[in-house]
């Protein structure tokens, strides 16, 4: 197999040839058809998430077909198309798992962080965390749903029944979520980097009723806001934009420090919360919704060997939607 590998001491991935991996008990091997590039991959590669397993193959928005099955796997067969998400394994025994909040597991494994991911021609996955996908789907368009779509959906659920919804950071997750929210009958307000007119135009074409820079005040108070950009300074900005009783949801796994802000921004029963990881129930629910809402996923495709370029261009914000690697 070929893989783009992260080693310690450098944020540059190296293209390597390795022996094809073999699945263990309860695992599957898939031939990767597409793997989207997530901002979390940037946080891993740039050292903003501590203690990755090194050397590491990043990538956790994987679509592929099973070509080998380990012992004890039931319900999946060779040739099945599956999706592999960020949460790659949970213990099933801790209080969080037993309470149905496996996203908070005390002993989790994460694809492309603590176990090898999908920036490769082949990947190993826990069969219990593989999602069956339609045979006739487009793997490039489906790959971003495995994290950008899933975490966006969990964020939307955390935002409640908000009619006027603000999205701060209009990247892979927001451009999918905006379409789902519009399909649900919500009004979407998109906030982008200052001067990013292309992203603002993209948001409007996907149904946003308003789009502007993150520092701008929306034309009406918001019922809720979701922050996808990893910028802590947006927290007080978003709190100032939501109405009384509104909620601000932080959807990223990493964010720069939140600055001090006056209590008045939080008063009047505004709330602030974070969203961590996802559950398999989230995935089942979202994939069913996506099949009906049919969001159009905007992608920029790169060959596997250009993973470093994809990461650099994601970091710079030079494309709309999601980057996807195709081996």
CATH number, position 314: 3.90.180.10
Question: Over the stretch 256-274, which tens digit does the pLDDT of each residue have?
Answer: 999 999 999 999 999 999 9
Q: Has residue 247 got a pLDDT over 90?
A: yes
For residues 99 and 143, state if they share a domain: yes
pLDDT at 59: 98
For residues 136 and 282, state if they share a domain: yes
- Picking from 274, 289, 312, the residue at the C-terminal end of a domain is 274
Per-residue burial over 136-161, b if 16 or more Cβ lie within 10 Å, else e, is eeebbbbbbbbbbbbbbbbbbebbee
For residues 158 and 177, state if they share a domain: yes
The whole-model pTM stands at: 0.95
For residues 285 and 143, state if they share a domain: yes
For the record, the structure tokens of 301 come out as 């495709």
For residues 7 and 142, state if they share a domain: yes
Comparing CA positions, the residue from 155, 156, 152, 167 lying closest to residue 212 is: 167
Question: Over the stretch 3-38, which tens digit does the pLDDT of each residue have?
Answer: 999 998 788 999 999 999 999 999 999 999 999 999
For residues 55 and 137, state if they share a domain: yes
Question: Over the stretch 35-78, which tens digit does the pLDDT of each residue have?
Answer: 999 999 999 999 999 999 999 999 999 999 999 999 999 999 99
For residues 33 and 140, state if they share a domain: yes
**Mean pLDDT calculated for residue range 272-292:** 96
pLDDT at 8: 82
Positive/negative CA dihedral, 5, 47, 235, 310: negative
H helix and E strand count, the chain: 9, 17
Question: Over the stretch 70-80, which tens digit does the pLDDT of each residue have?
Answer: 999 999 999 99
pLDDT band with cut points at 50, 70 and 90 for residue 231: very high
Which residues form the domain of 105? Answer: 2-147+278-326
| Helix/strand/coil percent split, the chain, to 5 | 30, 30, 40
For residues 196 and 261, state if they share a domain: yes
**Mean of all residue pLDDT scores within the chain:** 97
Q: Has residue 177 got a pLDDT over 90?
A: yes
pLDDT at 269: 98
pLDDT at 111: 98
For residues 214 and 318, state if they share a domain: no
pLDDT at 319: 93
For residues 52 and 172, state if they share a domain: no
- Picking from 234, 259, 274, the residue at the C-terminal end of a domain is 274
For residues 212 and 314, state if they share a domain: no
Question: Over the stretch 106-164, which tens digit does the pLDDT of each residue have?
Answer: 999 999 999 999 999 999 999 999 999 999 999 999 999 999 999 999 999 999 999 99
167 SS3 class? strand
For residues 29 and 121, state if they share a domain: yes
pLDDT at 10: 82
State the CATH number of the domain containing residue 157: 3.40.50.720
- Picking from 237, 259, 274, the residue at the C-terminal end of a domain is 274
pLDDT at 11: 87
pLDDT at 264: 97
Distance CA 104, CA 276 (A): 7
Look at the chain and report how many structural domains it folds into.
2
């Amino acid at each position: 197999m070929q893989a783009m590998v992260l080693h310690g001491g450098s944020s540059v991935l190296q293209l390597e040839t390795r022996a094809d991996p073999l699945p263990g008990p309860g695992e599957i091997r898939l031939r990767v058809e597409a793997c989207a590039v997530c901002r979390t991959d940037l946080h891993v590669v740039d050292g903003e998430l501590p203690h990755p397993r090194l050397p590491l193959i990043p990538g956790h928005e994987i679509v592929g077909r099973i070509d080998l099955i380990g012992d004890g796997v039931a319900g999946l067969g060779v040739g099945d198309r599956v999706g592999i998400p960020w949460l790659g394994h949970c213990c099933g025994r801790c209080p969080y798992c037993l309470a149905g909040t496996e996203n908070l597991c005390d002993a989790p494994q994460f694809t492309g962080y603590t176990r090898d991911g999908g920036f490769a021609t082949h990947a190993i996955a826990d069969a219990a965390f593989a999602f069956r996908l339609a045979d006739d789907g487009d793997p490039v368009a489906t790959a971003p749903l495995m994290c950008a779509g899933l975490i966006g959906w969990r964020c939307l659920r955390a935002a409640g029944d908000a009619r006027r919804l603000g999205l701060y950071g209009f990247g892979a997750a927001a451009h999918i979520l905006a379409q789902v929210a519009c399909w649900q009958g919500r009004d979407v307000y998109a906030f982008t980097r200052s001067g990013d007119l292309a992203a603002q135009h993209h948001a409007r074409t996907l149904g946003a009723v308003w789009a502007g820079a993150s520092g701008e005040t929306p034309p009406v108070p918001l019922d809720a806001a979701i922050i996808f950009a990893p910028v802590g300074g947006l927290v007080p900005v978003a709190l100032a934009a939501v109405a009384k009783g509104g909620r601000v949801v932080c959807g990223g796994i990493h964010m720069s420090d939140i600055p001090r802000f006056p209590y008045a921004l939080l008063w009047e029963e505004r709330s602030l919360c974070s969203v961590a990881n996802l559950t398999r129930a989230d995935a089942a629910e979202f994939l069913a919704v996506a099949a009906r809402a049919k969001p159009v996923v905007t992608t920029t495709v790169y060959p596997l060997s250009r993973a470093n370029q994809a990461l650099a261009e994601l970091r710079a914000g030079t494309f709309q939607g999601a980057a996807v690697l195709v081996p």
